[in-house]
Homo-oligomer: A and B are copies of this chain.
Amino acid sequence: MWDVAEELKAMLVFAEHRYYGKSLPFGASSFKDSRHLNFLTSEQALADFGELIKHLKRIIPGAENQPVIAVGGSYGGVLAAWFRMKYPHMVVGALAASAPIWQFEDIVPCGAFMEIVTTDFRKSGPNCSESIRSSWDAINRLARTGTGLDWLSEGLHLCTPLTNSQDVQRLKDWISETWVHLAMVDYPYESDFLQPLPAWPVKVVCQYLRNPHVSEKELLQNIFQALNVYHNYSGQARCLNMSEAATGSLGTQGWSYQTCTEMVMPFCTNGIDDMFEPHSWDLKEFSDDCFKQWGVKPRPSWITTMYGGKDISSHTNIIFSNGDLDPWSGGGVTKNITDTLVAITIPDGAHHLDLRASNAFDPTSLLLARSLEVKYMQQWIRDFYASLRNTR
């Protein structure tokens, strides 16, 4: 974005989403209960962006008649696309990078996400995804006895020992999440998005997971080495802390509430097309958990009512970019819808790689994608000035 902004002589504005970072409407009480959280919706966030653009155009000399482009990645990419859909008078177009606008209701299969995670691991080293698939049973078998639990706690160097079956489930969820996050940030160079990591971290992880046909304990020692890549790349940690969020400071509270209200994304696994334990999507279970945690119940059909679901063809000027390595591409737009609703896929790309700063290790597919993105943006800007001239 920095490079492109310079090329297009543009100003970059980062708008902080309400209830994230420092934008807490009720300060420390913002996440206290559903009454305080009531103002956390995507619609309100989009309205904030609308107010912000209007405000900036008023206060910044020369900004008033300039075109604006919405840019975002991940949920921010979803918002960028939705902003162009709902406020087309405010932005001439949107770059929605790794934006899973179709990860709702039954628009895409709920298993697509985890299948892509699995594919990444399968392609990143021999037997890698099979080793992970075998690991769940190994954990389950050890977890049946007290000595097995003790071994697991020590073998995986957990900061807090496992004591019951709930802990074991948490462990498996935490490990699954680690593989998901590794797939998302499988970048071609050292990076520090969710965690500090080496280049192509999934390949690095898979080096430890070449042999699924070893003993349970050996397999899990290998799993520990693999986990260590993600959770202890610096080598400073003396144990692995399951209660540490794997996503750093991305604002998990706000996101958890949003998934429990509007942003209901069905996910599932079957253990066959993916390397995880089978888990079907259970709205009832999800809804009960939401009610327990936040006192709210999700509205799984609302997003498609509000934003159109699969049927977005009447909109214009949105680029949907996706990396094939990115599990979120499963819920993204990866084929052109119209001439002005276009998809760009980056075969070697993980989660919104195109929005990251230029790097010597950027793959060619990324360079092509970026230059195409800039071409579209330039077209939007030209069209904007042409229509300005016509209305004068």
Contacts and interface: CB of A to CB of B under 8 A. Distances in A.
A129 B316 CA distance: 49
Interface in A304-322: 305-306, 308-309, 311-316
Copies of this polypeptide in the complex? 2
B88 A305 contact: no
Contacts of A312: 89
Interface in A287-319: 301, 305-306, 308-309, 311-316
Contact of A313 (B87, B301, B387): B387
A141 B86 CA distance: 54
A311 B86 contact: no
Contacts of A125: none
Interface string A36-71: 000000010001001100100000000000000000
Contacts of A387: 313
A124 B275 CA distance: 81
A54 B301 contact: yes
Interface residues of A, number: 22
Contacts of A301: 54
Nearest to A316: B314
A305 B305 CA distance: 22
Contact of A305 (B54, B308, B309, B316): B54
Interface in A57-116: 86-90
Contacts of A47: 305-306
Interface of A: 43, 47, 50-51, 54, 86-90, 301, 305-306, 308-309, 311-316, 387
Given A51-B305, A87-B308, A90-B308, 17 more contacts: A43-B43, A47-B306, A50-B305, A50-B306, A54-B301, A54-B305, A86-B86, A87-B306, A88-B308, A88-B315, A89-B308, A89-B309, A89-B311, A89-B312, A89-B314, A313-B387, A314-B316
